[in-house]
């Protein structure tokens, strides 16, 4: 643009009131041009990979059959220390992976009432950490991770490290969250039982 103006600058920039309006209009449209550039980079960068990945994982889940994890739900309902990691790490992970948000919470039906709030807490807390590597589990809420990841990409770093750490730290967090919520639930149930 500048080159052309340099060669045949017969029309001056508008000045005065109209000039101010014209500047305002240009500024207004520049907001959306920038937004459009971002949209195009998202559509060109993330979307094709996402579509292929979602298709592959959706097909895999269908071929395996989500009902396979129901047995695990029955097992996880048992009392005992060794079932804590199963109930608040393995089961929420598999439920979110195979059933996705929000159907993952239906796995709670295999658990006794006293574990249901804790299982829900663990499962729902995993619907974002899992999206770093397995976005099919929660495609409607990708930008919790993708938003922050976009900044990392812009700096020129790879995302694998962040995605993996998010996935693993998420597992630790939901395990702790499950245990804490189970304790609080037990406390409140006992108090309510005593009051009644």
CB of 188 to other proteins, least distance (A): 5
Give me the least distance between CB of 86 and other proteins, in Å please.
16
DSSP string across 124-191 = HTTTTGGGGT-GGG-GGGTHHHHHHHHHHHHTT--SHHHHHHHHHHHHHHHHHHHHHHHHHHHHHHHH
- Rank residues 22 and 59 by Cβ distance to other proteins and give the closer one: 59
| Window 148 to 177, contacts with other proteins (CB under 8 A) | 148-155, 157, 161-162, 165-166, 168-169, 172-173, 176-177
Identified binder of other proteins from the candidate list 105, 130, 134, 137, rule CB under 8 A:
105
Site string for other proteins, 65-104 (x = CB under 8 A): -------------------------------------xx-
Nearer to other proteins, 4 or 103 (CB): 103
- Window contacting other proteins (CB under 8 A); options: 1-9, 18-26, 77-85, 180-188: 180-188
What residues between 107 and 146 interact with other proteins by CB under 8 A? 107-109, 111, 113-114, 116-121, 123-125, 127-129, 136, 139-146
Minimum Å gap between C-beta 15 and other proteins is 24
Rounded to an integer, what distance in angstroms lies between the CA atom of residue 77 and that of residue 118?
12
Of residues 31-70, those binding other proteins (CB under 8 A): 31-39, 42-43, 47, 50-51, 54-56, 58-59, 62-63
Residues near other proteins (CB under 8 A), total? 81
Q: Where are the alpha helices (DSSP H) in 8-90?
A: 16-45, 47-64, 70-76, 84-85
User: In this structure, which long-range contacts are made by residues 163-172, counting pairs with CB atoms below 8 Å and at least 24 apart in sequence?
Assistant: 163/132, 163/133, 164/132, 164/133, 166/129, 166/132, 167/129, 167/130, 167/132, 167/133, 169/129, 170/125, 170/126, 170/128, 170/129, 170/130, 171/89, 171/93, 171/126, 171/129
């Amino acid at each position: 643009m500048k080159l052309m103006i340099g060669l045949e600058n017969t029309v001056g920039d508008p000045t005065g009131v109209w000039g101010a309006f014209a500047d305002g209009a240009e500024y207004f449209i520049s907001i959306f041009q920038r937004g459009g550039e971002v949209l195009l980079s998202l559509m060109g960068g993330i979307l094709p990979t996402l579509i292929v990945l979602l298709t592959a994982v959706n097909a895999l889940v269908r071929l395996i059959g989500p009902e396979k994890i129901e047995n695990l739900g029955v097992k996880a309902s048992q009392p005992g220390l060794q079932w804590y990691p199963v109930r608040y790490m393995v089961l929420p992970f598999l439920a979110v992976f195979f059933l996705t948000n929000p159907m993952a919470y239906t796995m709670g039906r295999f658990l006794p009432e006293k574990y249901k709030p804790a299982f829900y807490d663990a499962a729902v807390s995993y619907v974002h950490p899992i999206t770093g590597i397995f976005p099919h589990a929660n495609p409607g809420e990708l930008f919790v991770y993708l938003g922050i990841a976009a900044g990392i990409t812009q700096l020129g770093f790879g995302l694998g490290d962040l995605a993996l750490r998010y996935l693993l730290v998420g597992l630790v967090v939901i395990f702790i969250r499950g245990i804490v919520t189970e304790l609080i639930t037990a406390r409140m149930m006992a108090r309510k039982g005593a009051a009644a």
